[in-house]
Amino acid sequence: MVLAYLGLSLPNQISNPLAYKLRDYNDEDLMGCKLSHDEYPLLLDKLKSFDFVEELVLVTTCNRFEIIMFLNDTSNFTIETLRQATAEVTKSNIELNLLLGEEAHLQFLRTYCGLNSGLIAEDEICMQIEIAFKQCFHMGYLGKQGMQLFTEAQKLRSVIDEHIYQERISYCQVAIETALERLEQKEFKNIVIAGSGSTAHQSCLSLVKLGFNPESFTLAHRISSSSTQVAVIKASSELEGMSYLRCKHGYHSQKMKDLVQDCDLLVLGIDSRLPSLQFSKHNLKPVIDFSSKPSISFDDDASRENYFCSTKLDHFVRDYSEQRLKKHGFLVRIELAEAYIAKEIGAEREETASLSLG
């Protein structure tokens, strides 16, 4: 069985040792491949229908679209079939990166360990991958091999967190903290967070770490209250007291409009191809929008001064990350992480003792 990686991601903060195999992509390329949550099974069912696909998982986030598979055949015909099937469902002609075997293994482990990120050591990727793996396992797309891969990544990350990063960094927290520093208003008594995935979850946790009371939060979500994602958020002890509101008919519904009208800070952790809300001069308020495409459209007379779009947030995070990379010894620790991951893959192949960071 061969591990395969088919996908794309936005540029990283540090170079990838697989760069010679990976082409660069931009936001437009990424949005061209994006699927709504409802469409995920369309792609997974299509690929799983092929006899040569044993297991697979789809990891799609604000900066990546990646399919991780276990294949029993890696012929040119098989690879071309996978590419065509993916293009057919996503309605995109973008040629995705392909990695096989050890290279696919390295790419996945580096991603889970926060090395393939705009913010090195970011915490969000762990949660995003965990949700994807658990959902695909629950739905029957993943089996024993996939969960063994995920367990390996978890163990590896725990070692690197303890001995190299020494602390986990949250992309959402850096972005939100930097955005709030630029606002004149500092007190928010009614905060609405839209979404149910890892970005919305991490946004809630980040606001708590920044000193806000979760009892002032309302999480607006579209999917069922019993879904895995919402259940994970409700299980967070840090978010006890937070309110929940299901917008079954979408974020453009009247229920969501009323909720937004009454809030004094809106955080959007959704990822939509089209805007979900419209702002005019009558409902101006600070908005932090993590969506790859703006989740809000504006009337001509509406102010955008306190609107922090994903591009602006990404600029904040990358500036923070660049300053962090300049700190003494940080790059040396990153090199240790790279060596440790490579050694782990080599140890699995050669059955030798792993590198110790103790």
DSSP states along 174-241? HHHHHHHHT-S----SSEEEE-SSHHHHHHHHHHHHTT--GGGEEEEESS-TTSHHHHHHHT-GGGTT
306-322: per-residue pLDDT in tens?
Answer: 899 888 998 999 899 88
Q: Is residue 353 very low, low, confident or very high in pLDDT (cuts 50, 70, 90)?
A: very low
On the question of pLDDT at 297 being above 60, the answer is: yes
The count of C-alpha atoms lying within 13 angstroms of the C-alpha of 93, restricted to the half-sphere facing its C-beta, is: 0
pLDDT of residue 72: 97
Domains of the chain, with CATH numbers? 2-168+327-350 (3.30.460.30), 171-318 (3.40.50.720)
CB 11 within 8 A of CB 27: no
| Closest among 3, 80, 67 to 40, alpha carbons compared | 67
Percent of the chain scoring above 90 in pLDDT: 53
On the question of pLDDT at 324 being above 60, the answer is: yes
Q: Is residue 355 very low, low, confident or very high in pLDDT (cuts 50, 70, 90)?
A: very low
88-105: per-residue pLDDT in tens?
Answer: 999 998 999 999 999 999
Instruction: Give the separation between CA 136 and CA 21, rounded to whole angstroms.
Output: 27
CB 234 within 8 A of CB 208: no
Q: pTM for the full model?
A: 0.82
251-287: per-residue pLDDT in tens?
Answer: 888 888 888 888 999 999 887 666 777 877 667 789 9
pLDDT of residue 260: 87
Instruction: Give the separation between CA 60 and CA 54, rounded to whole angstroms.
Output: 20
- The set of residues, in sequence order, having a beta carbon less than 8 Å from that of 181 and lying 6+ positions away, is none
pLDDT of residue 63: 83
Q: What is the mean pLDDT of residues 135-142?
A: 94
Q: What is the mean pLDDT of residues 177-204?
A: 91
For residue 228, give both structure tokens.
């895995």
